[in-house]
Every structure is written in C-alpha cells, then in structure tokens.
Structure 1
Amino acid sequence: MNSTDNKVGTTLVIGATGTTGSRVTARLATGGYRVKAASRRATTVAGAEAVRFDWHVPATFGPALDGTDRVYLVPPIGSTEPADIMLPFLDQARAAGVRRAVLLSSSAIPAGGPATGVVHQALPGLFEEWAVLRPSWFMQNFTGDHPHAHSVRTDGILLTATGEGRVGFVDAEDIAAAAVHALTDPQAPNADLVITGPQALSYADVATILTRVTGRAVVHRQLTYEQMRERLTAAGIPDEFAAMLAAMDRAIADGAEDRTTDTVQRLTGRPPRSFRAHAERELA
C-alpha cells in the first residue's frame, strides 16, 4: 500500500472501534493512508483522526464526511431496517464528494434481501465505485466478546439451531484485509464479494477444534428454532431481530452457508486463515 497514490484521499471508517472497523482502520493507518475513525464517542485510534458519528444522530454526518472521498460502511447494530437510516446518509455522502463506498453486509443476505440487502441493492446506483462485502460468520464469535465465546468459556457449550449444517467461518483479519483492498485498489471491485475461510465446518467441528486447542471439553448442543429465538429474546435482543438471527441458524441447518470462496486469495494474494490457526493464535 502506498499513500502517495493521489487517487486515494481520506477514508471514513464507520464503526472504527468494532470487530472489522478497528482492523480496517489499523491497516489503513499502518499503510500510510489518511483515515477518519468514526465512532459514537470519537474514540482515539492510533494513526487516525477520531470523529464522532452516530447513525441515529444525523447532525454527526456532515462533520464526519467532510474531506473524505471513500467510506467503509458498518450498518447500525441490531436494526432490521437499516436502509431507513443509511440511504439518506449515502445521499449526503455522494453530495459531499464520496466516490467509493464499501458496505459490510452478510453472506446470508443477498442484494434486495432483508436488512442490509436493501442498501446493497441501492449502492451501485449511488456510487460509480463500490463493493459489498458479504462475509460468513466470524471466527471471533468463538474467541472474543460474543455469546458463543462466553458460553464456551463458562460452560464449555455451543448452543445453536444449526443442526449439522456447515459454515465457512472467516477471520475478521481476512475481512479487514479484503476491505482495505476494496477501498484502496485503483480499480474498485464493483461487485458482491462473498468472503469465507478455507473450510466449511459444523458447530460440532468447531467444538472439536476448540477442545483440542484449549485442552478443555467443548460440545455443541442443538436447539430448535423456537428455543434459539427464545434464548435470544431472553438475552435482551428485540423480538424481530431475534427471530431473524434464529432464522439464519435454521438456514445454516438447511445448507445455506455450506460453501467456500476464493475472495480473500483473489483480493489479497494470500489464502484465508483456518479456524484451527485462528484458535491457536487466540486461545492456545
């Protein structure tokens, strides 16, 4: 990466303290790119200009966008209809001079689908340079600050409604690496990019790997869709969003995520990290 490329100006990273946003910000800053790190508290991030940004406070949009020509979009957390907030922001971004937008969506949500699918469908009509990143489930769900990770640490149990379905779990570091290329390469992808790790694994497979790496027994306990939805709502997740998450588990059980792609290899020139390698790095 080279910040002397005059085609790359300043990138606004929304969600700069989050799982992918923090990694995208760090990679851009390390590469010498100018970056604005946007978060609700304008948290200081090394090598970046901290700016306040809140999807629910439109007054924060203008100052955050000032002087930027590209943006990494992390949708508002927990919203089942993010387009209501995001599309007005994207109109403002285009008017402010943003030329390239890279949206973080999900492998489970196609263009025109629910939630970010509406924003995905609109993006090519708003910007000439764009990409939609559709990563599979994060490996960090098992090692970071996530209900699965907490359940593994406290009880040695993974609870899902995924049955024997398999997922191409992906390391957030690989998502960030792909995002930086999508933001900075001279030619924008202008594509829908499904991002996975190198293997499709069931949650039972994940439990086996965690057991081997940590030396502590971890098992996968299967729930029904209804049990999963009730568990999520009991944890304080709004009913509609809990139903959507439980439905994603059911789709995994039906084989919807049983795939791998070469996206990381094509964009970054290296293969994605395996779940075993991720677990050894984070937990061993």
Structure 2
Amino acid sequence: MTTTGTTLVIGATGTTGSRTAAQLTAAGHRVKAASRQATPVADADPVLFDWHDPATHAAALNGVDHVSLVPPVGDSDPAAVMLPFLRRARTAGVRRAVLLSSSAIPEGGPAVGTVHQALPDLFEQWAVLRPSWFMQNFTGTHPHARSIRDEGTIWTATENGRVGFVDAEDIAAVAVRSLTDRQAPNTDLILTGPEALSYGDIATIVTEVTGRPVVHRRLSYAQMRDHLTTQVPVEFATMLADMDRAIAEGAEDRLTDTVQRLTGRPPRTFRALMEREARRSS
C-alpha cells in the first residue's frame, strides 16, 4: 500500500463513509472528511460538501488525489449532480475514484448505474463497490432497525428470498484497499458477507441474540411501495420495492470472495455483528 496523496471521503459521516475515513486515517493516510456540516471524523480534516451546492466543491477538491464517492441519499437521478462534479474532479487533478453503488444496480442501470458506466472514461484508476444489503440496516437508524425496536417486526416484500448481507466495516476495508493499493481494481466489485440469509433468518438471529422476539412480516409489492412512499419520494420508493421483488426472485442469493481476496480476512457474520452490538449495549 502507498501513503502518498490525500483522499476526499464524501459522505464521511454516513454508514460506510465514516468507517472508510476512520480506517484510512488509522493506516496513516491523509483524509478530507466531506459532509454537509463539515463534521469531524476520526483524525480527518473536516470539509463542507453538498452534492447540490457546487459552491462547496472547489474547496473540497483542493489538494485531493483520490476520492471516495457516496451518491446523494434518496436521489433517483444522482448522475445529474455527480457527473459534473467528477469532470471537475478530473480537471482538479484527482487520479482515482472509488464509487459506492449496489449489488442490485449493474453498470448502466438505474440511478447510480449511470455514474458507474461513466467512471472508466473519466479516470484511469477507478473501482465501483457493489455491496449487498448492509448488516447495519438492522442496528442503526434504518427503517428496519427502527421497526425492530418499535414493533419487533421487519417488513419486506422479499418473501423467502435470501441476501448475502455484508458488514459496513468490511465494505470500508475494501474501499480502503481500492483507494490506496498501488494498482487500482479498475473493475466493479460485488461484496457479500459469508452467508446468504432470508429476512426470516435475520429475525431469528436477532431474537436469539437479543432475547427479544422479532418476526418478519411479508408485504405485497404494492404494499411495500406504498409503505416506503411515506418515507421517501415515490420514484425512490418504487425502486426500493423493485429491489425487494428482485430479492424474492433470487437476485441477491449469491456469495463472493471479494472481502477475503482484497483484505486477506473473511467477512464478518451477521450473528457476530449482533453479538458485538449486544455487548456494546449491555
């Protein structure tokens, strides 16, 4: 690995961004932690950044060699703001870009898939991380975590479909390698945990670890879309419901060796994550 250059981590207060910034600084790399409040993260330099405010972009890019990209949250057309920024980043001297996408969104697909498609033409050094669903969806502020705490219920339209849920710490570890290894991946990387689990399996593990009964309640596609519309714009709610339907059809029932191959260690299991969270809260 190399310690030269400065990395801009966009979304540095988020689930993956905060972990990426912390792991980079712990390894001795210089980091600018970009967020809308310029909040300090680990030992990184905080910098104000808003995807929808181009006036914040120049200062964020100043002196930066590499950039870790998290798309604007809840935006069904992130390319509209991301592509002009990426062109500006290239002009400013950024040499490598690592984009956080999703296992459910292929190159050229909807939303961030358009940015994925454009990235190789913008930078000679690049990577697209396509993680499966986050394990932290069940432990933080995600709607699933809230419904577990408030109702003892997980609501989805995934039926018995299984997902290779992945720990955000493992995603961040792959991001760090993609940003700092001498040779960039120059490809997209699908990241999963070590096992594929249904939402029913998740409910069972949460129940066993916490001692609090949790169940998986199945919704129809239309019910899930309407439920999500109360939380996010209708276009984004429809896309999320489409993803649930794809899970029900088996689209996420897969495992990869990406975390092991890039970090040299196996990915964390969901049970291990829940046990760690239980120890922290005890």
The answer (yes or no) to whether the contact 1:23–1:173 under 8 Å persists in 2 is yes
Q: 8 Å contact 1:23–1:176 — kept in the other structure?
A: yes
Structure 1 residues 243-283: Cα deviation after superposition (integer angstroms, max 9, x where no partner)? 11011000000000000100000100000000110111112
Where in structure 1 do 4 or more consecutive aligned residues deviate above 3 Å? none
- The separation in 1 between residues aligned to 2:146 and 2:43, in whole angstroms, is 32
Is the 8 Å Cα contact of residues 53 and 61 (structure 1) preserved in structure 2? Answer: yes
User: In the aligned structure 2, how far is the partner of 1:263 from the partner of 1:186?
Assistant: 18
Deviation at 1:187, TM superposition (A): 0.5
- Secondary structure of the equivalent of 1:71? strand
Tell me which residue corresponds to 1:221: 217
**TM-score, structure 2 length as denominator?**
0.98
- Aligned match of 1:245 in 232, 240, 246? 240
**SS of equivalent residue, structure 2 residue 195:** coil
Instruction: Please give the alpha-carbon distance, in whole angstroms, between the structure 1 residues aligned to 2:187 and 2:43.
Output: 29
Cα distance in 2 for partners of 1:2, 1:82 equals: 31
Out of 86, 90, 97, the position equivalent to 2:82 is 86
Judge conservation of contact 2:6–2:29 (CA < 8 Å) in 1.
yes
Q: Once the 2 structures are TM-superposed, how far is the Cα of residue 2 of structure 1 from its aligned partner?
A: 5.7
Paired residue for 2:181, among 181, 185, 197?
185
1:46: Cα distance to partner? 2.7
CA contact (8 A) 2:108 2:116 kept: yes
- Select the residue among 152, 159, 163 that pairs with 1:167: 163
| Mapped contact 1:2–1:32 kept (Cα < 8 A) | no
> Alignment length, in residue pairs?
279
Q: CA deviation at 1:32?
A: 0.7
What SS class does the counterpart of residue 25 from structure 1 fall into? Answer: helix
1:257 is aligned, of 245, 252, 259, to 252
Is the counterpart of residue 129 in structure 1 residue 134 in structure 2? no
TM-score where L is the length of structure 1: 0.97
Q: Is the 8 A contact 2:6 2:31 kept in 1?
A: yes
Match of 1:268 among 263, 268, 272: 263
Contact 1:159/1:221, CA 8 A, preserved across alignment: yes
Q: Which amino acid aligns with 1:82?
A: P
Is 1:150 aligned to 2:151, yes or no? no
* Rounded Cα–Cα distance in structure 2 between residues aligned with 1:137 and 1:108: 9
Q: Does 1:67 align with 2:63?
A: yes
Show the counterpart of 2:42.
46
1:28 and 2:16 correspond:
no
SS at match of 1:101: strand
Equivalents in 1 of 2:199, 2:126: separation in Å? 33
For the 8 Å contact 2:162–2:196, the answer to whether it is kept is yes
What SS does the aligned partner of 1:38 have?
strand
SS where residue 132 of structure 1 aligns?
A: strand
1:195 lines up with 2:191 in the alignment: yes
Counterpart in 2 of 1:280? Answer: 275
Say whether the 8 Å CA contact 1:26–1:46 is kept in structure 2. yes
Are the aligned partners of 1:2 and 1:31 in contact in 2 as well (CA < 8 Å)?
no
Structure 2 unmatched runs, 5+: none
* Structure 1 unaligned blocks of 5 or more: none
What's the CA shift string for 1:133-165, capped at 9, x where partnerless?
Answer: 000000000011111011111111110000000
